[in-house]
Amino acid sequence: MAVQNVGYLFAKGLMTVLENAYADEKDVLASIVPDETSDQAWAEWTAMVGTGIAETKAKGEEFPEQDVIVKTPKRVLFTTYGLQVRTPFEDADDDQYAKITSFAKQAGRSIFFREATERAALFNGAFGTFYATGYDGKALIANDHPLDIPRVNNGTTNITSVMPSRDSYVWSNVLPTASDLDYVALTDAITLLKKTPNWEGEPMDVEAAWLVSATDNWSTVKELLNSATRPDTANRSTSAVYNLGLQPISSSRLYDEDAWFVGAKRHDLHQFVRMPLKTRVGSDPTNWDHVTQAAIRLANGFFDSRGWVGSPGA
C-alpha cells in the first residue's frame, strides 16, 4: 500500500468522527458555542462605550458633553492541539484496512474530545479567573462587573428611582444567594438576566434562551420546563417558565453537578478555529512505518459577560 493511500484512509476516518457520523460522539454544547472560522493570528475585539442616555439641556445653556470610550483591545491566542499515530509497515503491507481505519477513528475522537473539552471549560471555569478574557478582567459569572459610564441623578429628575442601574458602578450576573436549580432560583435567574445593563448602565431586557447544567440535573430540568404547574407548591399553581422556550442543555462534560446557567440567544462565548483539522503522513526510514499526524488550532474565551447568569449551587 502506498503512503498516500494510508493517509487517505486516515483522513477519511478522522473527518468521519469530527462530522459526528459515529452515533456515540456528540457535543451538546456545540449548539451554544459553535466553531467560528478565523484567519487571524489571534482573536481580538475592541469595544466602544457610548454616551448613554441624553441629558437635559436648559434653554441657552451649552449641550451636556459626554465622552465616548474606546476600550483596550482584548486578545485571545490560539493553541495548537495535535497527536501522532504510527501504522506499522507490516499492517499496511498486509492490507489491514480495518486496523488503519480503527487508528484513524481513535485519532479523530481525540481531536473531537479536545474541541468538546475546550467548550465545556468556558462553563467549568465560569466562576474563576482562568477564562477571565473579558474586557473587565472578571470571571464570566461575577457580582462586580464594572459599568464604564454610570448614569446618575442629574439633580432635577429622580432617574435612579426609575432605573437603579443608572446610579450603579457595578452589575452582577450571579444570583445574590447561591442556590441549587429549582423553580424559585430559575425565575430569579431569568429576572436577573432580563435586567442586564449595557456598558452605560441602560437596560437591555435580555430574553432567556438556554438552561445549561450538568447531566446530574437532567431530571430537575425536565420537571421545571415540561410541567405546566409549579413542582414546588402543594396546589400546583401555574408555572411561569412553562412554554417559555428555554432550550435545556445537560452536558456530562460539566463537572460541577451543582452549577447551572441561564443564557440568552445572543451571547459572547466563542470557540475560534484558526486551523481546522489537518493531517500529514510520512514514512519512518528506519522501519518503513507510516506516521500520521493530526492537528487543530483553537482559541476559546469571551469578551463580554452579558448574556449569561449563573449560580454555583447552594
Give the per-residue pLDDT at 213.
Answer: 97
221 close to 171: Cβ distance less than 8 angstroms: no
Q: In the numeric block, which cell numbers belong to residue 14?
A: 478522522
Report whether pLDDT(134) > 90: no
Are 301 and 131 contacting, i.e. CB atoms less than 8 angstroms apart? yes
How confident is the model at residue 180, as a pLDDT? 95
Mean pLDDT of 57-75: 80
Question: Is the confidence at residue 152, as pLDDT, over 80?
Answer: no
Q: What is the CATH number of domain 1-54+70-136+270-301?
A: 3.30.2400.20
Distance in angstroms (rounded) separating the CA atoms of residues 198 and 165: 10
* Domain range list for the chain: 1-54+70-136+270-301, 141-268
Q: Does the pLDDT at position 150 exceed 60?
A: no
Query: What does the pLDDT read at residue 256?
Result: 94
Per-residue model confidence (pLDDT) at position 108: 74
Residue 217 scores a pLDDT above 70? yes
Q: Which candidate, 259, 248, 257, places its Cα nearest to that of 221?
A: 248
Q: For residue 20, what pLDDT is reported?
A: 52
